Amino acid sequence: MKTIFKLVLVCSIVAFTSCRDTKKEEAETKAVVEQIETIESETEKASETIEKDAKDLENELNELDNL
């Protein structure tokens, strides 16, 4: 009886510890994903701004060529 109790106790401790580690890892992963999404968003905004500025400059150069 004591052996079974000890085995169940050890299994419970191992299960509890592994679940706790998983929750920590999930929280860290979620934080990293949010950071990546933020960086992607900022990069997309910067890219759009650069494309807009490039089109404006191209239009101005075309106007100068037509003079």
**Banded model confidence at residue 1, pLDDT cuts 50, 70, 90:** low
Full domain range(s) for residue 33: 1-67
CA–CA separation, 31 vs 22, rounded Å? 14
Instruction: Judge if pTM exceeds 0.85.
Output: no
Instruction: Round the average pLDDT of the chain to a whole number and report it.
Output: 87
- pLDDT tens readout for residues 37-64: 999 999 999 999 999 999 999 999 999 8
Residue 35 in tokens: 């950071």
For the chain, the domain total comes to: 1
Above 70 in pLDDT, residue 23? yes
Q: pLDDT at residue 33 above 90?
A: yes
- Quick one: pLDDT at residue 21? 65
- Quick one: tokens of 34? 């949010």
